[in-house]
Structure 1
């Protein structure tokens, strides 16, 4: 993917202005029982990357419709920073991340540790850690490793598990939670 032009930035600015006027109307469910019940009529994702210094605060879904330009922005943000390559991020993963964030009732953005991983990056990480899957969903754009300073790994994992929508891995020693849109399963401590 290429760097964003000023047109994209204007689109993001427009979406941000729209969000400022409509986000107050979005319903909040502090005890959602099912997947996306906590997402409301507007779905928003907030993240930053300690590796690239980039920040993202994006409404990507409004009243039943994904916003294609927003999904492109998210895909670029979640690229493999080591190889500067991107793969479309599965919207189901973004939905799980957004619903979990809403359940945690925080305004703090996620710190993205890993989104898409190229096969080269995945192989390198796998050679250094036995916790990296050979056929990781990160390589399909279907997983994210996330951290919040204000919430524990346990709290984040419980929120992601409450979505009943994919895999949730607890990595307490490394202080992050893996969320993906694959089969429902949990692991780690």
Structure 2
């Protein structure tokens, strides 16, 4: 997949303008907005950083009920299988879960993404060398992410994700990351 987004300055200026207009127009209602996944709000933003590729995403991807196509394309590319350089349409529900958990933890730190989408080839390779990798992983469907934060513990991250009541949450203490997916609601320790 090729990276099909607007030029950085144009896209950022465009989104900045949308954010300013939306924040101004919705300011009196923002604190009371039910939002998706408690606290997602009228404007949804996600911050991600990859230790593998050195890339970062800090984007508003949803405004007043509508996803922003260019922002989703940027997230899809960021969450790609970096080993195969392969991207798919990353599940919007999981983006919402990640954004909501960041808001619930009241942090401006970006998630450090250990793993997003995994191609079947990458997942098979990882499952051969690690018992904790599921053969039919939600990572292969673009529905999961393994994440770290330096300012929050894995217990704090997992509690925020569980509070969303929107998917699977796994705590991996030895590896110091939390798995979040938009599959059935469940919890586990890895």
Tell me whether 1:148 sits opposite 2:149 in the alignment.
yes
Q: Deviations over 1:76-127 (max 9, x none)?
A: 0000000000011110000000000100000110001111000011011111
Contact 2:170 2:178 in 1 (8 A): yes
The offset of 1:37, in angstroms, is 1.7
Normalised by the length of structure 1, the TM-score is 0.90
Contact 2:3 2:74 in 1 (8 A): no
Between the aligned partners of 1:165 and 1:35, the Cα distance in structure 2 is 10
The offset of 1:181, in angstroms, is 0.4
Between the aligned partners of 2:111 and 2:97, the Cα distance in structure 1 is 13
The 1:96–1:49 alpha-carbon spacing in structure 2 relative to 1, beyond 3 Å, is same
Aligned-partner SS, 2:150: coil
| Number of equivalent positions | 185
The offset of 1:23, in angstroms, is 5.3
The 1:184–1:55 alpha-carbon spacing in structure 2 relative to 1, beyond 3 Å, is same
Contact 1:16 1:58 in 2 (8 A): no
Tell me whether 1:117 sits opposite 2:115 in the alignment.
no
The 1:90–1:131 alpha-carbon spacing in structure 2 relative to 1, beyond 3 Å, is same
The 1:188–1:146 alpha-carbon spacing in structure 2 relative to 1, beyond 3 Å, is same
Aligned-partner SS, 2:87: coil
- Unaligned runs of at least 5 residues, structure 2: none
Contact 2:37 2:166 in 1 (8 A): no
Other-structure match for 2:102: 101
The offset of 1:16, in angstroms, is 3.8
Between the aligned partners of 2:162 and 2:108, the Cα distance in structure 1 is 20
- Unaligned runs of at least 5 residues, structure 1: none
Contact 2:4 2:73 in 1 (8 A): no
Contact 1:28 1:102 in 2 (8 A): no
Other-structure match for 1:137: 138
Other-structure match for 1:12: 12
Other-structure match for 2:73: 72
Between the aligned partners of 1:15 and 1:56, the Cα distance in structure 2 is 13
